[in-house]
Amino acid sequence: MMVRILVVDDDPYTLKLFERLFRSKAVDLKLASKAIEAWRYFREGEFNLILMDQRLPDGRGLEIIKEMREERPLQVAILMTGFADVSDAIRAVREGLFDYLCKPFKNLDALEAVIEKALEFDRAYREINRLREALDQRKACSTLIGRSAGMETMMGQMRQIAPLDTTVLFEGESGTGKSMIAKHLHDLSREEKKAFLVVNCGGLSESLLESALFGYERGAFTGAIKTTPGYFEKADHGTLFLDEISNMSEKMQCSLLQVLQEKTFSRLGSAEMHSSDFRLICATNKRLADEVEAGHFREDLFYRINVITIEIPPLRERGEDIILLALHFLGQFNDRFGKKVGPFSPEAIEALKGFSWPGNVRQLQHVIERMVALHPGGPISAIHIEQIGQVIKKQKKERRKDKEISPYQEEREAFESDYLRRLLIRAGGNVSEAARISGIPRQNLYVRMKRWGILPILRSFSPKFFE
């Protein structure tokens, strides 16, 4: 689909500049010199990006964009002006505009970079909406939102094996959504209308896990007041999901192996044999092969359940999915709390991408929930994300208390990267101000930011950015 851009400015030179800028690109460019023309184009179809001058012959750009966004709330827009008015810049950001640019544009490469960022922002919003519409709400789970290579690979594997009844093992860190993904695999299968039963092997003692899986006869043990079928029995012709199977005791591992080999079992307190034919899905937050090597998991059971192994990528390896997930959770919690928080400002997005998310999707979900609950409403700035960052860092410090100290160079690099991100956020994206606060010469600061892939993230408040 061709990108559509609308440029509105009463300055013929500016319109010519954008015409030359997009001449060799696959862009459907519309140029307007008045607000009335802009409205005509706007109502003819959607635009991926609108760049509008603040002072037009028949209106004020900021007010016009505000009205347009009332019709299309997700419209990405940039305000332009030849007058460096900080109050307009602040209002533009508060209204949720992507950026604020000052004319004349003396650095066209920088201008193109801003436009590309805005278009990337638009693509992210459109992707989350596409996912919301495309996924059946009964089957959709936030864990599956994403377009990163790791997620595409995982989803491709799941589609391929879903119709089969083979055993599947999911390996992934805590918080990656293993149980939700297992449920999605079941929903894609031929047994989607059959039972999907979940047993958390790490949350039950050995005796409780045994009675839950096998069931028991009345009087089998103290408290067994009536005969109760277990999960093996109830999962017949359906799916049994054993979460955190690596926490299963050696005795239970042996019992499970016997059931899988013979497809028969008996309830506790009974010698009568029952048969059950179910699909087994397992999950663990450890590498099961390493657990076998360490003698913590039976090798024969490992080979029995390791028919197909799917690795769930951690969120830190899904950089381009973070914004999609954040937008999804933002909409979810706005609906739940009856609030209107958002959208994310560009600097807020950069800050979200800067975290390593050790708690993965679950942590991101909780962070967005907390932010929406405490936010008064309106756009989300870097300050809100910085506050979240303090919580995340506190959690990380608590987790690292008992861990080994990393090599000096590794610790130093981690500190410098984190420090520069926080510094730039505190300075509002203004490199000169960041240099003043830190005492680092401006040119040295640029070199260090380039080394860590950190760029100025609040161009709106830096009118001299294009000089």
CATH, residue 395: 1.10.8.60
302 and 161, same structural domain?
yes
Same domain, 99 and 218: no
Same-domain status, 9 and 49: yes
- At 270, list the tokens: 């009974």
> What local confidence, expressed as pLDDT, does residue 398 receive?
55
Residue 466 maps to a domain: no
Q: Is residue 464 part of a domain?
A: no
Q: Chain-wide mean pLDDT for the chain?
A: 84
pLDDT range class, residue 133, cuts 50, 70, 90: low
* pLDDT(455) > 60: no
pLDDT at residue 342, as a whole number: 84
**The pLDDT value given to residue 138:** 38
Q: What is the pLDDT of residue 350?
A: 77
Give the total number of structural domains in the chain: 4
Do 207 and 97 lie in a common domain? no
Domain stop point among 91, 108, 133? 133
Same domain, 26 and 90: yes
290 shares its domain with 182? yes
298 and 399 within one domain: no
Alpha-carbon distance of 315 to 317, in angstroms, equals 5
- Bridge partners of 81, per DSSP, are 102
**In a domain? residue 465:** no
Q: 158 and 53, same structural domain?
A: no
- Residue 467 forms part of a structural domain: no
**pLDDT for 48:** 94
User: 0.95 cut: is pTM over it?
Assistant: no
- Digit-coded pLDDT (tens) for 357-405: 888 999 899 889 988 988 888 888 777 776 666 655 555 555 555 455 6
Are residues 166 and 254 located together in one domain of the fold? yes
Residue 457: predicted pLDDT: 42
What mean pLDDT comes out for the span 76-104?
78
* Together in a domain, 94 and 233: no
Under 8 Å between Cβ of 429 and 347 = yes
Residue in the structure block whose two tokens are 């690596």: 246
**Residue at token pair 């294009």:** 466
Nearest CA among 419, 436, 432, 438 for reference residue 458: 432
Q: Which domain holds residue 435?
A: 406-457
List the CATH number of the domain containing 121.
3.40.50.2300
Q: Are residues 116 and 174 in the same domain?
A: no
* Short-list 405, 394, 406, CA closest to 363: 394
> Does 463 fall in a domain?
no
Flag the least confident range among 290-294, 319-323, 379-383, 390-394: 390-394
pLDDT of the residue at 293: 95
| Amino acid (1-letter code) at residue 313 | P
pLDDT for 413 equals 67
Please report the pLDDT score of residue 462 as a whole number: 31
Position 86 scores a pLDDT of 62
